[in-house]
Amino acid sequence: MDPIAENSSKTLANGGQVAEDDIPKDGTGVVKLDPWLSPFQDSLKRRYAKAQEWIKKIQETEGGLDKFSKGADIFGLHMNKDNSISYREWAPNAIRASLVGDFNNWNRESHPMKKNEFGVFELTIPTAANGQAAIAHNSKIKISMELPTGEWIDRLPTWIKYVTQDLSVSPAYDARFWNPAPTEQYTFKYPRPKRPASVRVYEAHVGISSPELRVTTYKEFTKTMLPRIRDLGYNVIQLMAIMEHAYYASFGYQVNNFFAASSRYGPPEDLKELVDTAHSMGIVVLLDVVHSHASKNVLDGLNEFDGTDHQYFHEGAKGKHELWDSRLFNYGHHEVMRFLLSNLRFWMDEYHFDGFRFDGVTSMLYTHHGIGTGFSGGYHEYFGAGVDEEAIVYLMLANELLHELYPESITVAEDVSGMPALCLPLSLGGVGFDYRLAMAIPDMWIKILKEKKDEEWDIGNICFTLTNRRHGEKTIAYAESHDQALVGDKSLMMHLCDAELYSNMSNLTPLTPVIDRGMALHKMIRLLTHGLGGEGYLNFEGNEFGHPEWLDFPREGNQNSFWYARRQLNLTEDALLRYQYLNNFDRSMNKTEEKYGWLHAPQAYISLKHEGDKVIVFERAGVVFIFNFHPTSSFTDYRIGIQEKGTYRIVLNSDSKEHGGFNRVDEGTRFFTEPTEWNGRANRAHVYIPCRTALILALESTVSQKS
C-alpha cells in the first residue's frame, strides 16, 4: 500500500485524537464519531475500498501517487538540458499529430509526432544550429491532429502553461511556449508559512483589485493589496480566477487551460512574485481550483480535444452540466485522474501555493449536481444512487496526496449539502478536507435582512444556525463572500443601507438612522459570525468596509463596462468618509482574534439568548462576547454569566469612535465578577450594553500581554 494511505492524521477539529487501534481499517471509523452513520456502513466501506483500489493500482502501474501526480513533468512541452524540446500529449482518438507554430511556419508536415500504445503522441525537437531552443520564447504553438474521418483539427496543448487572448482578433486563446531566459525567471526566496491555527481568509480577485476602470495586474496586487491584507489581520489569501478562463465575466469558473495562470493580470513570473511576497509577510496563499467542471470551448479548451466528447469528460448528457453550460470530468478514468492530481501538484510546485479552495464540491459529490435538490440534513441524502462515488474517490485521493506531500497545506470544500465526513481523514473513511465553507450562514443573514424587522429577529435561530456544524469537522464561517457581492444579489451593506450609501456616508453630512443602523449591524453581524460561526473566518475583498456596489464584469449586457468590475478601496483612505470606521473595525476584530485565538478554540458556550432584550452572551477562548441587537433599548447593570472569575476589561467595542460609534461605553471600566451562579456559569458580572453594540471582555491580566 502507498504510505500516503497509512500516515493520515488522526487529529480532529475539536483537538481530540482517535486511537490508532480503535480505527477500523475499512473506512467506518467515522461511525465511532457519529453513530448515526451506522446504517450507511456499506457505502462508507465501498468508498474507502475504491480509494484503496486506486492507490494500489497507481502503486503497481505508476510507482505510487507521488510519481503519478508529476504528470506535468512528462506531458506538455519541456526544455531538456541540451536545449532540445520534448512534447507529449494524450490524444487516443487521433491517428496522426504534429506540432505547429511560428517556429515552423505552421507546417504540419515538418514536425510529426509518434503515437504509443497508450494513445500518447511524442516528439523531441533537436537544438537549433545556433545551440538555442528551436522554438522561441513566447511564440505561438498548437497541436494539429488527424481524426479517423480524415479531418484535421488544431488544438492548444492541454498542459500548456501560458496562453494569451487578443480580443481584437478573436476571443479564442493562443498557446505560447513559455521559456524565459534564466535571468528573467522568478526565483523564490521565502519558505511557505506554517499553517495558522486560526485561519482568517481574505477572498480576493486580482483583476478587480483597483478603483480604476481596467484589469489590475499581479504586480499591482503585490504592491498595494498584500500590505493591506496583512495590515487588516488576515493570514490567508484565497485567490479567485487564476486558472485561465475564456470569459472574464465567468469569475474564473469556465476554465479552459488548467495549467495556465491567467495572462490577463500579467506573465507567470509575476504571479510567482505575488505568492512569494505574501509568504514573506507570513501569509498563506490558497488557489481557488475548479475541478468540478470545465469550459465547453473546443478551440482553446479540453472539450473535444481529440475529436471525441468523452476523452476527459463523460460521454453525452452525463458529461454536460445543464445549468453551468460546461463539461463534467470522468473522475473514474485513469488519465483524467492523472491530469487532475497533477494539476494540483503543479500549482503547489510551480507557483508555491499552500493549498486549495475546491469550487463546486456539491456538484462533484452528487450525480444530480445539487440541481433542484434541497438538502434537509437527512443522512439518506448523502448515500445511495444520487452520490457520485468516482468523484468522492478522486477528492479522497486529492486530499491524501496534498496532505502527505505538503503537511502544512490547507484544503477547503465549497459544499452546501453538509455531507458527513467531508472534513475527516481518509483513514477514518472521510474525504479528507481540512475545512468546509459554512454556506448556510450568509443565506441566513440575507433572509433576515430581507424578511424581518429588527425587533422580529429570532435570536435563538441565529445562534442555532451559527453553531449548527458537524462535531469534529472544521468550518470556515462568513457573513458574505463573492457570491453575495455579484450582480443580481446585494452585499450586506447594500441590504442595510441601499441608496443612502451614495449620499450619506460622508462625515460632513448628519448621521441618518439608516446609515447608523447599517454601520452598527454590519459590525455586529461580522463579529457574531467571526466568534460563533466556525473554526475559520472568511471575508470577500472590499466587503470588510461595506463596499457600496455589487460586482459585475464587463459583458455585452452592460456595454462591456468596468464600472462595477473594480473595488473602490480608496473609499477607506478618505478621512471624510465613514467607510474608514468599518475598515478599522474589521482590523480590530482580526487583531483581537489573533491575540485570543477563539477560532481554534472549542465551540463557544452560549449562556444567554434573550429574545425580548435581543441580547446574546457567549464565551470562547476565555473571552466574553456580548451583543445587544435591540434597535432602541440600552441596558445598564445588565447581569451576565461568566465562568472564570476575575476582573475583566473591554478589548473590543463596536461603539468606539474609531469604529464609527458613539463612545457610549467607558473602555476603562473594570468588570468584577461575583461568585454567584448565573445562566449556567459559575460567576456573574454587571455590564452596560448600549443598543446595537457588541463588546468583547477579557481578563485584565491578558489585556497588556502581547499576542
d(CA 610, CA 678): 14
Do residues 54 and 395 touch, judged by C-beta distance below 8 A?
Answer: no
d(CA 258, CA 358): 14
Do residues 518 and 546 touch, judged by C-beta distance below 8 A?
Answer: yes
Active site residue ranges: 359, 414
Say how many Å lie between the first and final Cα of the chain, rounded.
44
Q: Which grid cell is 399?
A: 486530499
* Residue found under cell 475529436: 307
d(CA 705, CA 63): 52
Q: Which grid cell is 394?
A: 478522486
Instruction: Supply the DSSP symbol for 57.
Output: H
40, 217, 306 from 87: Cα distances, Å = 47, 30, 16
- One-letter amino acid at 214 equals R
Do residues 433 and 421 touch, judged by C-beta distance below 8 A?
Answer: no
* DSSP 3-state of 602: coil
Do residues 535 and 622 touch, judged by C-beta distance below 8 A?
Answer: no
Q: In sequence order, what are the residues at sequence separation of 6 or more whose Cβ sits closer than 8 angstroms to the Cβ of residue 633? A: 613, 614, 691
DSSP letters along 677-701, please?
Answer: -BTTBSEEEEEEE-TTEEEEEEEHH
Do residues 418 and 34 touch, judged by C-beta distance below 8 A?
Answer: no
Helix (H) or strand (E) holding 590: helix 579-596
Helix (H) or strand (E) holding 163: strand 163-165
Which residues are bridge partners to 123 per DSSP?
87
Number of Cβ within a 10 Å radius of residue 13: 21
Residue among 297, 300, 327 nearest 156 (CA): 300
Name the pairing type of β-strands 199-205 and 236-240: parallel
Number of Cβ within a 10 Å radius of residue 509: 13
d(CA 581, CA 578): 6
* Alpha-helical runs (H) found in 132-232: 218-220, 226-231
* DSSP 3-state of 576: coil
- One-letter amino acid at 491 equals S
- Length of the chain equals 707
Do residues 508 and 576 touch, judged by C-beta distance below 8 A?
Answer: yes
Q: Which residues of 527-559 are buried (b: 16+ CB within 10 A; e: fewer)?
A: bbbbbbbbbbbbbbbbbbbbbbbebbbbeeeee
* Residue found under cell 510546485: 349
Task: Report helix, strand and coil shares of the chain as percent, to nearest 5.
Answer: 35, 25, 45
CA 184 to chain centre: 31
Instruction: Supply the DSSP symbol for 499.
Output: G
